[in-house]
Chain A
Amino acid sequence: MEKTQNNKAWFLVLPVLIVVAFSAVIPLMTVVNYSVNDTFGQNDFFWNGLGWFEEMISSDRMHAALGRQVLFSAIILAIEVPLGIFVALNMPKKGFWASFCLVLMALPLLIPFNVVGTIWQIFCRIDIGLLGHSLAAIGIDYNYTNDALDAWITIVVMDVWHWTSLVALLCYAGLQSIPQAYYQAAKIDQASRWSVFRYIELPKMSGVLLIAVLLRFMDSFMIYTEPFVLTGGGPGNSTTFLSIDLVKMAVGQFDLGPAAAFSIMYFLVILLVSWVFYTVMTTLDAQETK
């Protein structure tokens, strides 16, 4: 039988192509375009090759922002992942309190980012904020607008408050999927609480934990709104993370070329780290199966 060639079905994909082109491809290409051009104004561009990339790679400003960013992501991962697991382990398994805890845990996740920033900004103010004023009242010298360490602590605590729920909920889902028989078998084997965690709960949670770490890494590495609202990157540059620096450069100083080069490298770093992370985790997983 002869096959009729009819490729008209491709046209059905066209609307999606157009939407994606306008929403993602063209803007991204504009960024690429800016990153390899320079201008002295008048909308008059000339070719700059890899100039901006070279400048950005050797720029102290970017190094500092990257350093702060890595430190921030490392701190919040080190706090949120163990804390999330701990919370999930101690949540009630069923009944009214289980639903209650789930709703309670989900609440911070439902608050818009800038509102989170505003809440903490007011909460920590030493003149009118509940926390800031209370700390001042008991004689602790705390001021997140002046002191770099205080600002860091505030941002980290805010992020932990905002996102630990996500890790906890994912782990909780992982824990709920463990059949009761495993716990019974552990009881019969007289396994300790730690052994139950180490040999049953942790291995069964590893899948969701991988997702949780990946999500928290990407999100924290791109964090913008909350610290922007809370500290605006200050005091000085002490909480200026990559995306805050990027926005300052692009919108504040209107240095489109360097900002474009910067954002492309930024994007590649996230992509690379996520890929490496995922590959390492899945190959470890595959090796264990052997």
Chain B
Amino acid sequence: MAQITLKNLAHSYSATPSSDADYALKQMDHVWQDGGAYALLGSSGCGKTTLLNIISGLLRPSQGRVLFGDRDVTDAETSERNIAQVFQFPVVYDTMTVRENLAFPLRNRGMDPAYIKARVAAIAQTIGMKATLDRKARGLTADAKQKISLGRGMVREDVNAILFDEPLTVIDPHMKWELRTQLKQLHREFGHTMIYVTHDQTEALTFADKVVVMYDGRVVQMGTPEELFEAPAHTFVGYFIGSPGMNLLDAQVTGSTAHLQGIDVALGASYAPQTGRTQIGIRPEYCELSATEGLPITIRRVEDVGRHRIIRGEVAGQVVNVIAAEGAEIAADQTRVRFAPSRINVYANDWRVQGGAI
């Protein structure tokens, strides 16, 4: 196991990158703790798979270094990096039994048969496949196969990191939940460094201690699920995390007040004057309909999703969603929306601005 360091890392698929746009992965510096559970979250094409392939060694970065512990592995082959990877669809050796599948990485490394036997039994126990050890892998269901590939990754005790490339894509929804819980449990039990690539925020937030949100080849924020929710560092994080995402409204900010269409909105902190596009962001969870206070809102529709209701509306031509408790009354005269001042974040050119005391 090892800490993973990315030093000045950047990658471009073109041989002669000239501008920033040519880079699939913009320059980054990160240290990922040994034994951490990280999720790489982002929409398609944001560079998360590129980053994963660089860590696994399938891709050589066009600049920067990758370090496992103190060892520079930038030029090392995948097989030398001592990592495990679980792919998007289950990769198992069809003609082998489950037992042979699990033993395969150990056998190839010439381990002692008695050790292999004990290790395979232990792994089969943890992934809950003891009963099917002697079955051929090809006849199994997709989630069982995915468990085998997970088990094959964990069977080596000294593995540096286990990488997951959207591993639950082909799994049935009810099995997804089970596998995710199992992953979390395995992480707690064995403490492998795990890196999990996904575009599903639920997967990322439930699995990871630290979520790495990527956007347009850049890591825009790395933080705990709570940090991502309360203080998104970039408007993309605000919009991408949460259901529905953060409301973003163009406004002018002076001191601790935002001016929106001639109405003042109180902020929880004081801000220096900003240049460029200024926006305030507020989670729908922290908005509330009111008859008397706040900004005038035009309600387009109300969706009942069971636990709560989502009110889809518009404030000065910009979309604002409000989450109301299931029992709460939505009256005809509630034509205004009120924001909790301390929950408002201010963004200048899409990046969050740190406020000072009022």
Contact = CB atoms under 8 A, between A and B. Distances in A.
Contacts of A181: 87-89, 91
Interface stretch (B104-112, B227-235, B248-256, B347-355): B104-112
Interface of A: 179, 181-182, 184-185, 187-192, 195, 199-200, 203-204, 288-290
A289 B91 contact: no
Contacts of B95: 199, 203, 288
Given A184-B85, A188-B78, A192-B108, A290 B136 contact: yes
Interface string B136-156: 101100000000010010000
A271 B209 CA distance: 64
Contacts of B109: 190
Given A199-B93, A289-B136, A190 B88 contact: no
Contacts of A288: 95, 136, 138-139
B58 interface: yes
Nearest to A202: B95
A195 B108 contact: yes
A188 B78 CA distance: 6
Interface of B: 56, 58, 77-79, 83-85, 87-89, 91, 93-96, 104-105, 108-109, 135-136, 138-139, 149, 152
Nearest to A199: B93
Contact of B85 (A188, A192, A290): A188
22 contacts: A179-B91, A181-B87, A181-B91, A182-B91, A184-B78, A184-B85, A184-B87, A185-B91, A185-B149, A185-B152, A188-B78, A189-B152, A190-B79, A191-B104, A199-B93, A199-B94, A199-B104, A200-B93, A288-B95, A288-B139, A289-B138, A290-B135
A184 B87 CA distance: 9
Given A185-B87, A190-B79, A289 B139 contact: yes
B105 A189 contact: yes
Contact of B77 (A187, A191, A204): A187
Nearest to A190: B108
Contacts of A290: 135-136, 139
B136 to A, nearest CB: 5
B88 A184 contact: no
A190 B152 CA distance: 12
Given A184-B87, A185-B91, A190-B108, 14 more contacts: A184-B85, A185-B87, A187-B79, A188-B84, A188-B85, A189-B104, A191-B108, A192-B108, A199-B104, A203-B94, A204-B94, A288-B95, A288-B139, A290-B136
Nearest to A290: B139
Contact of B83 (A188, A191, A200, A289): A188
A204 B92 CA distance: 12
A190 B82 CA distance: 10
A190 B110 CA distance: 10
A179 B170 CA distance: 15
B147 to A, nearest CB: 15
